[in-house]
Amino acid sequence: MKTLMSALVIGSSLALAACNPLENQPVGNSNVPQPAKPVELKRYLGKWYEQARYEAGFQKGCEAVTAEYAQKPDGSVAVINSCRQGGVTGPLKTAEATARVVDGSNGSKLKVTFFWPIEGDYWVLDRAPDYSWSIVGEPSGRYLWILTRNPAVSPRQYAALAGRAKVLGYDTGMLRRTQQ
């Protein structure tokens, strides 16, 4: 029994260490602002295309990145993140999660679980009035995503979105453009 407990503790510790994505991530914003606008979940649901991100180990080599959100009967949100490994025509890689809206956040903060019981923060820091784009981060300032409803944006649109991220305090030199 003692050996089984030791194995479970070691296995759990390894799993937690493997799921700690913040360990080697540089900070791109040391003063992350609170989300600027409320988010109406029903309008936020659907498919989003990643235009840029702070590079993270779990997204290494990902192109054609999308995130799809759908409400579940219990009120939580089903999340499917997809990417093409190595290029826009590479093999499809997906990750599924469940998210829940944080009470008192006006819908702008979610807790996302890919591996129970570990939850990650997902903050919609800014968004278009028509929900055509959003800027997503989390409180450590190590992650940032620029998302749009359309797979392609003009250079001018991208510059405007990167400019908004800069106004929020993010180092836009750390952004990595995503091929769509």
Express each pLDDT in 28-76 by its tens digit: 999 999 998 999 999 999 999 999 999 999 999 999 999 999 999 999 9
- Which fold would CATH assign to domain 38-177? Lipocalin (2.40.128)
Is the pLDDT score of 18 beyond 80?
no
Q: Which residues are within 8 A (CB) of 160 and not within 5 positions of it... i.e. 6 or more apart?
A: none
Is residue 57 within 8 A of residue 81, CB to CB? The reply is: no
Burial of 82 (0-12, 13-18, 19+ CB in 10 A): middle
Q: What average pLDDT does the structure give for the chain?
A: 89
Is the pLDDT score of 156 beyond 90?
yes
Domains in the chain: boundaries: 38-177
Task: Tell me the C-alpha distance between 83 and 98, whole Å.
Answer: 18
- What percentage of the chain has pLDDT greater than the value 90? 83
Q: Which residues make beta-bridge pairs with 66?
A: 49, 82
Task: Tell me the C-alpha distance between 178 and 176, whole Å.
Answer: 6
Least confident of 18-22, 62-66, 101-105, 144-148: 18-22
Q: What is the pLDDT of residue 9?
A: 29
Is residue 23 very low, low, confident or very high in pLDDT (cuts 50, 70, 90)?
low
| Sign of CA pseudo-dihedral 150, 154, 159, 163 | negative
Q: What is the pLDDT of residue 24?
A: 79
pTM of the complete model: 0.86
Is residue 40 within 8 A of residue 107, CB to CB? The reply is: yes
